[in-house]
Amino acid sequence: MKQQVFNPYLPSWEYVPDGEPHVFGDRVYVYGSHDAFGAPIFCVNDYVCWSAPVDDLSDWRYEGVIYKKTQDPGNRLGIRSLYAPDVTQGPDGRYYLYYAFDFLGEFGVAVCDTPAGKYEFYGKVHHKNGKVWGKKSGEQFPFDPGVLTDDDGRVWLYSGFETKVPFVASGWHDLKNDGGVVMELEPDMVTIKTEPKVIFPIKGKPGAFPHAFFEASSIRKVDGKYCFVYSSQYNHDLCYAMSDRPDGGFEYGGVLVDLGDLYLDGNTDETHANNYLGNTHGGLLNIGDDWYIFYHRQTNRTSYARQACAEKLERTPDGGFKQAEVTSCGLNGKPLIGKGTYEARIACNLWAKGHTTARVDRGKKATEGHPYFTQTGKDRESDGDQYIANMRDGATAGFKYFSFDGTETKISVNGSGSGIFRVSTDESGENTVATVPVNGSSGFEISAGVHPLYFTYEGENAADFISFTIQGGTK
């Protein structure tokens, strides 16, 4: 790659959650929702697209706005927000974008001749009689589309959400939420060929998985099998299930990634996760022999400013996937160089004193005692200005991983505050390698190899953590 790439992998001012990565030609395209920094609700911006060469996942290019919410005939005033989309190349070679307008209870479809061109409104997903799906009482609630054009040209659409929605669904009628559903579409890409059926029951329903379906449907082919990715009842993980067919028979595989690294090493305590918890959504990407899981993290003490992240996955002997650890290096494919200046915003671990973390989804704000990612300026105003705010005594920011060669090393911290940062190579803070004053520096010794770095603030009031610089560490 031309340069190192971090998590989040897009610029610091970009907020694209629900990312669905797809390879079209020689590029990876990521389609997602579009949050706005400082917004009071989800997804207030129009759809944009980012892409990168398949052989350089550090070189992300902004493709611009690909679809405006006002392009849908039912949203000319822009009152509704565009939620998590997905894109597939249809049998006719064109690209189809599937989307939901927040909790309206219907799917729109837009079409384009190129992966990241200007999409145009195409229609609504509807039954053979022309009735839009979601307009009849008793139907399953359309939400979070996931779409697959299979090798034989058949098109499969997935959807689902666990909530009570009669007060938000279009037409003020009751829709069901029994779990994740699947249906086949006609070649026209909008007409339902086989009626929606529940194949992923929600928590408490017969056949529910150990991590039961909640939302975030995503579908891929893995070694000829169908791999369904979803967010579970816990709402901060992405899990998967596998089947030999697209319309049923799925078996639970496990967790792919969790925002707080829960379920790794047996830890299930949400109050002691390794990072903020909140909703997440994403999909699988395959390039050659490599597999990645894309997801999003929370920032700004809310769930309304989410950022795109990704981790490399390891396979299991049975053809499944191991749970990925949340890291700062993500798509880099290897540890970061133990030398240079790194922005604090790439921390993959963040907690308050006592290793306590907060949950910020469902409209909740993190308590004032917790550190959090934020930025100066307004939405999309500038680049490189994100930082960690509110580092109070005992708060820790962790970065994984760096490669050191054992040479003499010095570290300096850029921020504001009146205390020091204790730098350790373990999350408990016992293995301290340096004590660095805010806006100061300190030399330290570290053995050759791959290590995480944890910065724990000790001092009065609150500190803002902007960046740190490592001098030496590699020859």
CA–CA distance, 402 with 88 (Å, rounded to integer): 37
Displacement of CA 190 from its chain's centroid (Å): 27
In whole angstroms, how far apart are CA 404 and each of 256, 338, 399, 472, 475?
A: 28, 5, 14, 9, 9
Active site residue 427: no
The answer to whether 72 is a known catalytic residue is no
Closest CA to 284 of 259, 258, 313, 323: 313
Give the Cα separation of 246 and 20 in Å (integer). 19
Angle at 163 between CA 324 and CA 159, to 5 degrees: 60
- Active-site option among 18, 20, 261, 361: 18
Given a contact cutoff of 8 angstroms between Cβ atoms, the answer to whether 442 and 434 are in contact is yes
Separation of alpha carbons 48 and 233, rounded Å = 29
Full strand arrangement of the beta sheet holding 86-89: 86-89, 95-100, 107-112, 120-124
Closest CA to 110 of 167, 66, 166: 66
- Whether the CB-CB separation of 433 and 456 falls below 8 Å is answered with no
The DSSP string of 410-425 is EEEEEEE-SSEEEEES
Rg (CA), the chain: 22
Which listed residue (106, 144, 215, 311) is catalytic? 215
Contact residues for 423 (Cβ-Cβ < 8 A; gap 6+): 411, 432, 433, 434, 435, 436, 442, 444, 453, 454, 455, 456
Catalytic residues: 18, 215
